[in-house]
Amino acid sequence: MNDKIRDKAQQRQSLINDLTENIIDTTATLIDKGCDQELRDKMAAEISERINFEVNVTLNEMVTKYCPQKIREQVTEAEERRFLRFGVNFRIQHVLMFISVIVLIITGIPLKFPEFAISKFIIIDIFGGLDNSSLIHRIGAVGLIIVGLWHVFYSALSKMGRKDFWLMIPRPRDILDFFHTILYFIGRRGSGPKQGRFSFIEKFDYWAVYWGMVIMIGSGIILWYKEYFPKYIYDIAREAHSDEGLLATLAIVIWHFYNVHFNPEVFPGSTVWLHGQLTESEMKHHHPLEYAEIVEAESNEIQAERQTTDPSEENVK
């Protein structure tokens, strides 16, 4: 696919070169006087560059104007650079987490609303009774506990995990960003706040899950081993487990599904959780500060490389 596109681009380049030659040839009478070959080449290069630029800009504009979103993405993304946002380790954590959570929700929420026919249908008819659904709930719980511990160790031990955890810590800037976003929503600002690697929304999501994990796993373990606790501790755990379970479910269904499924920008669903990558334009749009950092770091690197290679070049001269 990429090779094809590259071939097409080369073809276009050679066509543009031919066109440039043609233009220069047809105007040879104007240029020839007092114009050496070097200048002539420079002119040709500039003309071809401008044609190329205009063609690209016009193409972009037309595609944006007439083609549906999907085609636009394909056209622009195909040639774009990609940035790794979530590593393999992190993506496996996410998959294990959502499998566990879906299992836990399906076997858990019906018990919050036992009087509903749908709840009875799920527990009695689908799972074949409370004994089975409880067992499956506990299997889901083990999955969630594993992913929780895994994430703690990942955040502490892996390089990317440590870096991300550090960036996840809320800062005063996030509060300003929040108000900035509200002002943008009500039309008082022309654009939203520029975000780094993690926006305040993503930080909220992350810490909401953190809170939920602590509450659900903590209270769940008490419910699991209720015989070792006084009844009032069990009662507190049960109330918290039931209420936080509903809150988490609603938050996932409303908020997380909006952000990653129903939001017009990503509908019917973002695929970042699968490949973990963002395109350059997505980076520029959603994480401009992080993008700037990366680009700056890269240019510093290149400069540093040049500085180390420069002296040798000088020596050669």
**Interface with other proteins by CB under 8 A: which residues?**
110-111, 114-115, 119-120, 123-124, 129-131, 133, 182, 184-187, 226-236, 238-240, 243-244, 246-247, 250-251, 254-255, 258, 263-265
CB of 232 to other proteins, least distance (A): 4
CB of 264 to other proteins, least distance (A): 6
292 Cα distance to chain centroid: 16
CB of 243 to other proteins, least distance (A): 3
3-state secondary structure of 81: coil
Q: How many CA atoms lie within 13 A of 3 on its CB side?
A: 0
Give residue 254's identity as a one-letter amino acid code. Answer: I
Nearer residue to other proteins within complex by CB, 129 or 170: 129
Taken in order 273, 276, 277, 283, the sign of the CA dihedral is: positive
Q: What is the dihedral of CA 216, 110, 144, 238, to 10 degrees?
A: 20
Q: What residues does 12 pair with on adjacent strands?
A: none
CB of 272 to other proteins, least distance (A): 19
**Following DSSP, what letter does each residue of 256-312 receive, concatenated?**
IHIIIIISTTTTT---HHHH-EEEHHHHHHH-HHHHHHHHHHHHHHHHHHHHHHHHH
Nearer residue to other proteins within complex by CB, 131 or 314: 131
Nearer residue to other proteins within complex by CB, 155 or 249: 249
- Residue identified by tokens 């810590």 is 169
CB of 64 to other proteins, least distance (A): 9
Phi, psi dihedrals of residue 19, rounded to the nearest 5°: -60, -45
Nearer residue to other proteins within complex by CB, 25 or 131: 131
Nearer residue to other proteins within complex by CB, 91 or 286: 286
**Following DSSP, what letter does each residue of 39-65 receive, concatenated?**
HHHHHHHHHHHHHHHHHHHHHHHHHHH
Nearer residue to other proteins within complex by CB, 82 or 284: 284
84 Cβ contact list (under 8 Å, min separation 6): 276, 277
Q: What residues does 278 pair with on adjacent strands?
A: 83
CB of 38 to other proteins, least distance (A): 45
CB of 202 to other proteins, least distance (A): 13
CB of 56 to other proteins, least distance (A): 20
Closest alpha carbon to 108 in 127, 83, 81: 127
Nearer residue to other proteins within complex by CB, 71 or 92: 71
Nearer residue to other proteins within complex by CB, 127 or 154: 127
